A = this chain, B = another copy of it.
Amino acid sequence: MSELRKDPVMGRWVIISERRSQRPDQFADAFPTVCPLKQPDCPFCAGNEERVPPPIAEILSPEGWSCRALPAASPILRQESRFEEHRLGMFHIAAGVGAHEIIVEGGRHGRSLADLPLQQVADVVLLWERRLTELGKDDRFKHLMLFKNHGPTAGEGTYRHPHSQIIALPVTPARVKDKLDGAKEYFSQTGRCVFCAILERESREKERILWENDHCVVLTPYASRFPFELWIVPKTHRADFPGTPEPVLRGLAEALKRTLARLSRLLHDPPYNFILHSAPLRRPREGFPDYWDTLDRDYHWHLELIPRLTRVAGFEWGTGFYINPVSPEGATRALQETADG
């Protein structure tokens, strides 16, 4: 059973998950640099379906299935009980309730999301939306995280079969709160959504816009923390990813496939992480009846993509102050000059 603990200085929650523990001398092998690519061992490959539990959901294709949601084999959080916070003097502790699902992106091993046919990328995005909508109905959850780790140094893990992950959390994470606070602050000062304002400004300037279609814009954020950091933002204002109309989801799929293909070509299939930032689930907050009042107007879902090209060292850990050796404008130009298919 994992535990949630709250840092008494920062107010930040941490998961203590001893099940995932190893002897210290095994850490070096925990994330092998060369991952096994042998298909017969992979539980996500088409033909190996008997190695995993039945899927939670799937999208079918003429060849069988296009993509599917599976329960995580070693879940970080489990759907066992209710979230209950206890105090041990100055410390807070809570049971690690939540959910953890794997979205398997096709049955073929060693193919990345960028290499899949557009229809299959769209199937993955449609399945994300379907699972987030479903998990959002469980009122024990406060936030849903969808993310992908690509490549061993980005934390992909043992099986290099393309997949993304969904984690449902019983608390709102610190960085999500920071984003929400920032967006709310901008809204209270200007009456506008900060993401809409960014899109408007960037569309005028153009120097940080990489690509766009009818539904989504791909841009390098003005204050990029990392080289080639990218955001994909829907053009129409919307706080929640769940409920996004299908044409926008297909627009996201196209933007994602093209962006990943360019990154892969320019940077030689770099490791990367992406995170879908959707609004948190609105649960009534005792004593704060107006807590979520402006959220629908002040927040705007988006996908954040971080190639893992630089190392985070003492300075960044100590300050939250990142040193980025490539300007977002330079990254945009380099990616614009790269073919995407």
Binding site for B on A (CB under 8 A): 5-18, 20-22, 24-25, 27-28, 30-31, 76, 89-91, 143, 145, 147-149, 153-156, 165, 167, 169, 173-176, 178-179, 182-183, 185-186, 194-195, 197-198, 201, 221-225, 227-228, 266-268, 270, 273-275, 277, 304, 306, 309-315, 317-328, 330, 334
Contact = CB atoms under 8 A, between A and B. Distances in A.
A16 B324 contact: yes
B20 A321 contact: no
9 tightest A-B CB contacts, nearest first:
A155-B313, A147-B314, A275-B318, A175-B320, A173-B319, A273-B314, A7-B223, A174-B320, A173-B321
Q: Number of copies of this chain in the oligomer?
A: 2
A92 to B, nearest CB: 9
Given A6-B223, A147-B317, 9 more contacts: A5-B223, A8-B182, A9-B182, A9-B198, A17-B325, A27-B267, A149-B313, A175-B318, A175-B320
Contacts of A222: 5, 7-8, 91
Contacts of A313: 147, 149, 154-156, 273
B319 A145 contact: yes
A273 B309 CA distance: 19
A22 B325 CA distance: 8
Given A18-B330, A334-B24, A149 B325 contact: no
